[in-house]
Each structure stands twice: as C-alpha cells, then as structure tokens.
Chain A
C-alpha cells in the first residue's frame, strides 16, 4: 500500500506539489501523469528523498531506506567514457572494492542480458544514443534490487519497440522481485497500457488517483490536458488516447 497524506513540497516557499491524500495498492506499476509543469518530477524527486516535503509518505508499514530506493532522473546525456559494463557495475557501488568479484561482474552482465543490452557491454557510455543510455541506466538501477523504483520518463528517448520492451521488462521484473514501481509518463497510451494505477497531477495539485482503466476517460483527460480527445479501444480492450486539438484552438 502506498499512502500519501497531506503531502506537500515547497521550493523557495512556494508550494509546488500538494497531495491531500492518495492511497494506492502497490501491486503493479503506478503511473504519474499530467501536463508539463504539473509536478510529476517533483513528486518522484521528493519520494526519492532529494526534495524536502511535509506530510506523510508510507509504503506498506514503513518508508524504505535510501539504499532501497532507486531513482532515475529524467534523461540527460552522460558524457563519461566509462564502459557500459562498468556503468552497470556502479549499481552495486556500495559493495565494490579494489577487486571486482566474479559474482558482481556476472550480476551486471545478467541484467544487461535481461534488457538485451549485452552487445553494448564494451562500448563507452558517450558513444551510445540517448535511448541506449537510458536503457543502460535503467539496467544499473534494476541491479540494485530496489524496494521502490522511481522512474522519471524512462521511455522519453526510446523508439516504439524499446518503449514496449522496457515497460514489459518492468512488468516482469516486479513479478519476480517485490518492487514497487512508480513511473512518470507523458505518453498516455503507454500509461494506460502498462500501468495498473495512476496519480494524475495538474499545476502541482492532485487531480485524481486510482485504477488506470477508471481514470482514462475523455472527460478527465480533456480537462487535465486542455485538449479535445477521443478514447478508442484496441482489440484487447485497452484504451488508446487520441489527441484531437488543443482547447485554445476552438
């Protein structure tokens, strides 16, 4: 159970995020959606412990300690020439000493395999594309076996194949590990397909929270995003959000 009560984040004395109450079950992926500047990143950052907040945050009985939380900030280019395998190895930073053990190396390779990235292992980070870097950094965070995984738009630089790939890897990861995943997404169709529950934010205020299929409605989406939209259904009865025009155009 993820429970936020009177949860507020203030930056320079201005309230940037206000969630009076949100209560979500922590099975499956929790998505955070909302327009630009709605406070998605602020929420993830403060949950990760990098921003101060007031109010309560609870995950099951107690909030996980900082080394049980893996947070991945929004993508920006890593300029280091560090090799991909070494970069993933840094996920086990706290355990590393002068000699890297075989177990540590194979753990890193395993996770690279799982994300189908092993062909990149010897490449340097700065030679990868933004999307590849994003995948490697995700591998690094997953290798920490976190209790809580916070991902800020992890699919922003990925093509469609890799977007689907990453999100389904996450889905299977939480089935094998007891991990709560909270993920900020811009792409609503992806959000409605892969998340089980949603937190919807607008201008720093909580709009709604709950089960994804109940929240993805034309009325709510058009109100939050200021757009006219239509919601279609795929063969598997999953919603697809089709944006039509911004409300300003009307």
Chain B
C-alpha cells in the first residue's frame, strides 16, 4: 500500500497538482489574515479553533461571519468557474470558450437585475430572491440552448451560435431593465454585475458546495470521454463515443456550476477562460488531471484576487470581479510565452 502510494507520488502530474494544492492552502491562510481589522496569525488561528462562539466576540464575528464565508465562497466559486471552463473549452473544441460563452452570465445578470428592480414588492428577502432569480434565468438560458441543440444536433458551431443569440438576447433585456431603473436601483444592479465576494455568506457557501457535490461525481465519470473528444468529433465517434449526447450532458453540468457560481457573487470574468489554459500547461490534456486542476487554479486565482482586492486600497474593498483580470493576465501571459519558447 505504502509503496504503491509512493510510486503514484512520483507520477509528475500528481506531484504538480499537489504543489498547486499547497499553493492554494497558503493563499487561503493569507486571505483569512487579510482585512482591515489587523488580526495577527495567532489571533486568527485561535479564533478558528474556538469555533463561532469564541471568547472574543469581535474576532469571532470577523472570522466566522465575514472572512471565512468569503474565503470559502471564493474557493468554491473559483473552482466552479475553472472546472466548468475546461469542460466548456473541451466540448466546444475552442480555446476561447468560457462558462460565459453560451450567455449564462448575461442570463444571470438579467435575472438579478429583474429581481433587484421588482423584488421590493415581493415578500421575500432580497438576499434570497436575487440569487434564486439569477439561478433560474441561467437555467432558462440553458434550456433554450438545450432545445436548439436537441433539434439541430449539438455540434459545437450550433451551440456557439445559439449561445451568442442567447447572450445578446439577455444582454439587451438586462440593458432594458437598467434603462428603466431609477438611479439608486441602477447602482445596485451595476454593483451586482461587477461580481463581488462581499455578497458571500454561509448560505452561498453551502449552496455552491451542495451543487458541486451533486454534479462532480457525474462529470468526473466523463474524464475519459472528454479526453477522447480532444481527438476531434469524427475520431471520438468512431471510438464508439456518442459525441452529441456527451456534449448535452456536459453542457448541463456547466450550466449548473456557472449558475451556482454567478448567482451569489455576480459575474466574475476571466477565471473560466484562463484556468483551463493554465491547467493544461501544467498537466496536459489528460482530463483525469486537468479537470480537477483547472478547478483548483480557478480557486487560486479567485482567492488571490480576493487578497488583492482587500489590500489595494486600505479601508475599501474593490469588487473582486474587477481584480480577477489583473491577477489572471500575468498567468495567461506566462502560458503564452512558454508556448512560444
């Protein structure tokens, strides 16, 4: 047992994934340490160990009600976006694809805007209504594309075209709502669209984790099918893979994960696009490794962005959606430069 474990450890892909995991853990600690209250590492650890009802009320509130849910949400949302991003790039055979390519983020934005605009008249708390509405409209977008794919066959061109149509449709609806909204409401909508971890709470942590827990076992069963798809549709089909059915299954996973990620934090761009590239550069195209690693890279990116968003200007937290590209671009540049060299 021990020796077999040792021999697996030598497998370089696993070794690299382990390194990334350590990197993520360190970043998580940094993220928990970062904030305006100036808590020390010792205080953070003590507060974490004491649980939510620790002796120091101020510290336990900061850690257990603000920082920890935010950090965990960053990990979960980053993971969803990175993981869904790689699946999307594989099923569309397109390195430019991301979880947002098929218009899911525009749909979520529309759902959120709709509920912010009209939600006040409903007897439901805004913090529940907005994510639920965003989630529902993402699934609506997914349903539209699914029906089109079902009728016309789910070739990547058809999916992308349908996705672009859905994207523009929901974007215009969203613009229409913004146009109709009063200035204060408009500000709320725009703030939601930025994508921010400030909306995170324990509910978001549990819901996103639950969705991950439900979808992950199913999508992880498809790792070899996804790897096979990398040989192109014809080759994959002649190896006995039902390419269209696979695309539809994966596409539903992507929709669920994206809806989960976007509904609670707003649109956080770039992570779903770049994580797959970084992951493939590290472990190659074997989806047994690259899929989970792409999720992990997503977490690393979003937690890094979260740390940066808290440190850039003292006292104010810049929405993390604005930061992600700033963190991601250097990584993307490294991947591009490495490719040419």
Binding site for B on A (CB under 8 A): 48, 50, 66-67, 70-73, 76, 78-83, 86-87, 90-91, 93-94, 96, 98, 124-125, 137, 140-141, 144
Which of B223, B225, B234 has a CB less than 8 Å from the CB of A73? B234
Number of A-B pairs, beta carbon distance below 8 Å? 57
Known contacts: A80-B231, A82-B227, A82-B231. The answer to whether A91 contacts B239 by CB under 8 A is yes
Q: In the complex, what distance in Å separates the CA atom of A131 from the CA atom of B239?
A: 20
CA distance A76 to B234 in the complex (A): 9
Also in contact, A82 and B230, with CB within 8 A (given A71-B238, A98-B288): yes
**Could you say which residues of chain A place their CB within 8 Å of the CB of B237?**
50
5 residue pairs, one from A and one from B, having the closest CB atoms: A80-B230, A71-B238, A73-B234, A82-B285, A96-B224
Instruction: Report if B228 contacts A (CB, 8 A).
Output: yes
Q: Is the CB of A86 within 8 A of B286?
A: yes
Are A81 and B240 within 8 A (Cβ)?
Answer: no
CB pair B231 A90 closer than 8 Å:
yes
CA distance A91 to B223 in the complex (A): 15
User: Closest residue of chain B to A50, judged by CB?
Assistant: B237
B284 part of interface (Cβ distance < 8 Å): yes
Q: With a CB–CB cut-off of 8 A, which chain B residues contact A70?
A: 238
Q: Which residue of A lies closest to B281 (CB)?
A: A81
- B240 & A72 in contact (Cβ 8 Å cutoff): no
> Does B235 lie at the interface of the complex (its beta carbon under 8 Å from any beta carbon of A)?
yes
* A164→B234 CA distance, assembly (Å): 26
- The chain B residue with its CB closest to the CB of A95 is B224
What is the distance, in angstroms, from B241's C-beta to the closest C-beta of chain A? 7
Interface string of B225-266 (1 = CB under 8 A from A): 101101110110111110000000000000000000000000
Can you list 25 contacts pairing A with B, beta carbon distance less than 8 Å? A48-B238, A66-B240, A67-B240, A71-B238, A72-B238, A73-B234, A73-B235, A73-B238, A76-B232, A78-B231, A80-B231, A80-B232, A81-B280, A82-B231, A82-B285, A82-B286, A83-B284, A86-B286, A87-B231, A90-B228, A93-B224, A96-B224, A124-B284, A137-B231, A137-B235
**Interface size bracket, B side:** 20 to 34
Report Cα–Cα, A70/B239, bound state, in Å: 7
Instruction: Determine if A80 and B239 form an interchain contact, defined as CB atoms under 8 angstroms apart.
Output: no
Given contacts A81-B284, A82-B285, A86-B286, whether A94 and B228 have CB atoms under 8 Å apart is: no
- Do A93 and B235 touch (CB < 8 A)? no
In the complex, what residues of B have CB within 8 A of residue A96's CB? 224
Q: Which residues from chain B contact A67 at a C-beta distance below 8 Å?
A: 240
CA–CA, A66 and B228, complex, Å: 17
Report the minimal beta-carbon distance from B184 to chain A, rounded to whole angstroms: 50
